[in-house]
Amino acid sequence: MINFILNDKLISTDSPQGMTLLDFVRYEKNLTGTKIGCREGDCGACTVLIGELTDGKMEYLSVTSCITPLGNVNGKHVVSIEGLNMSELTPVQQAMVDEAGTQCGFCTVGFVVSFSGLCLSNKAISYEDVISGIDGNICRCTGYKSIERAGERIYNNLKNKDLTNPVKWLVEQHFIPEYFASIPERIKKLEVSTKITEGKIIVGGGTDLYVQKHDEMEEAEINFVSNNKELKGIHIDGKFCTIGAAATVTELLESEELKKVFPNLRKHLKLISSTQIRNIGTIGGNFVNASPIGDLTVFFIALNSSVVLKNKANNERTILLKDLYKGYKNLDKNADEYISRLQFTITDSSTYFNFEKVSKRTHLDIASVNTGISIKIEENKITEINLSAGGVGPIPLYLKNTCVFLKGKTLEMKTITSAMEIIQTEIAPISDARGTEEYKRLLLRQLFFAHFLELFPATFKEEVIV
């Protein structure tokens, strides 16, 4: 039985937990405002909000309902466009009208819901936040400038938002209906079980599984780990960081502790998928999906991270993330094991980290090639280095030979150009839709150099790649 609140209504349903939220909303509840576009998380037409009670406050995030399993909304508040509509247009809807932000209208619901999710944020938001908040919504006919202008109006309307009680303020300003004020008390009364049970498919956000095995998932026996407290949380204890496997990309992005360790965290993680996907996609899902271009995998291999695998009998073993991958989609993981958490040592002030990704478009696209580096420099010598690369082999690669070569060398152009040659001997890219073998070899070469330009501009700015 799944218990949640859909707009203003309490839902207790025996519908299959694996069915998509989109199908439930449209076909079981006849709320047809939520549209079906791609069914792959790409277009944003199916965007709804999911609200969760955290530290006494509701936090709303936009998600793509077409790849969100019903089981993941257990104990939460789901808001479709019908739950935002009132007898008059909201300021968000009015802004879209005033700026001619809609033409055929197919995408419009998704944009309005995404914008409304930003309005519900408990934090102050900037104009950039408003625009990046619609990075997972595609419009094929209006043109984005009018939608951006609508975003600017919405941003201006929110300037005086009362952050001490945003819901009260938003109700008073007619952004959301009055029933939102009653949601926290109603959510508290919902009963939710998140125990990991035996012999079932583990689902994090479902953003890989529901694209790859869409038809099989509805009737599948599923363990929904995204609500499991044991698999949540980001903790830094002295020099050690532990991240629960069910942490989402958005949770990494928002973590104040991680931002201190990785000043460019936002820049790096915003290259991953879209707001709606980052809000639900987990690190455990990224690792176990084992895509050779998984961004989080490549990011964390470069930090020489370990993963803790746990079985149903609560036995744990810890392995390096780079050793999880034995061959294409072949993992050092037993069928009864799941990833509990990720661990890595925090870099010190003489260790530098960078992540680079090239894809056909900057946002909402998977990498052609990606790479991460952590490098420790002492007295202009490389004393420690970990280098990863994706899209250049059947698994996410740790570039071992290149690291062995670089360790102990002086940080200078000669070292870097020699290392570039070693890299080419330990990768094996194939030609596919994301580029030819030669192109990927060239890309990694350039991205490797980009690491050094980014991290040591004073040393390498005058240099030219030869």
Ligand X SMILES: Cc1cc2nc3c(=O)[nH]c(=O)nc-3n(C[C@H](O)[C@H](O)[C@H](O)COP(=O)(O)OP(=O)(O)OC[C@H]3O[C@@H](n4cnc5c(N)ncnc54)[C@H](O)[C@@H]3O)c2cc1C
- Residues found near ligand FES in the complex (CB under 6 A): 36-39, 41-46, 64, 66, 102-108, 139-142
Q: What kind and span of H or E run contains 400?
A: helix 400-406
Binding footprint of ligand X, residue count (CB under 6 A): 33
- 225 binds ligand X per the rule CB under 6 A: yes
Distance CA 361, CA 329 (A): 26
Q: Using CB distances below 5 to 8 A depending on partner kind, what does residue 133 bind out of ligand FES, ligand X, none?
A: none
Query: According to CB under 6 A, which one of 208, 371, 403, 448 is a site residue for ligand X?
Result: 208
Cβ closest to ligand FES, residue 103 vs residue 165? 103
**Axis crossing angle, helix 91-98 with helix 144-157, rounded to the nearest 10:** 140
At 59, list the tokens: 């936090």
Cβ closest to ligand FES, residue 277 vs residue 419? 277
DSSP sequence for 103-165: SS-TTHHHHHHHHHHHHT-SS---HHHHHHTTTT---SSS-HHHHHHHHHHHHHHTTT--TTS
Query: According to CB under 6 A, which one of 158, 202, 301, 321 is a site residue for ligand X?
Result: 202
Distance CA 308, CA 283 (A): 13
Query: According to CB under 6 A, which one of 139, 209, 324, 377 is a site residue for ligand X?
Result: 209
Contact string (CB under 6 A) for ligand X, positions 258-297, x = contact: --------------xx---x---xx-xxx-xx----xxx-
DSSP sequence for 226-278: TT-GGG--EEEETTEEEEETT-BHHHHHH-HHHHHH-TTHHHHHTTSS-HHHH
In the complex, minimum distance from the CB of residue 225 to ligand X, in angstroms, rounded to a whole number: 5
In the complex, minimum distance from the CB of residue 171 to ligand X, in angstroms, rounded to a whole number: 33
* Residues numbered 378-437 forming contacts with ligand X, rule: CB under 6 A: none
Residue 416 φ then ψ, to 5°: -70, -40
Contact 398, 388 (CB under 8 A): yes
- 22 binds ligand X per the rule CB under 6 A: no
Cβ closest to ligand FES, residue 105 vs residue 457? 105
Q: Using CB distances below 5 to 8 A depending on partner kind, what does residue 107 bind out of ligand X, ligand FES, none?
A: ligand FES
Contact 100, 25 (CB under 8 A): no
Distance CA 46, CA 317 (A): 40
Cβ closest to ligand FES, residue 63 vs residue 258? 63
Contact string (CB under 6 A) for ligand X, positions 96-125, x = contact: ------------------------------
In the complex, minimum distance from the CB of residue 277 to ligand X, in angstroms, rounded to a whole number: 5
In total, the chain counts a number of residues equal to: 466
Residue 19 φ then ψ, to 5°: -70, 155
Strand pairing of 337-345 and 306-311?
antiparallel
In the complex, minimum distance from the CB of residue 320 to ligand FES, in angstroms, rounded to a whole number: 35
Q: What kind and span of H or E run contains 84?
A: none
With CB under 6 A as the contact rule, which of the stretches 95-103, 173-181, 208-216, 372-380 interacts with ligand X?
A: 208-216
* Residues numbered 311-370 forming contacts with ligand X, rule: CB under 6 A: 338-339, 366
- 65 binds ligand X per the rule CB under 6 A: no
Q: Which residues lie near ligand X (CB under 6 A)?
A: 40-42, 67, 201-209, 211, 225, 231, 245, 272-273, 277, 281-282, 284-286, 288-289, 294-296, 338-339, 366
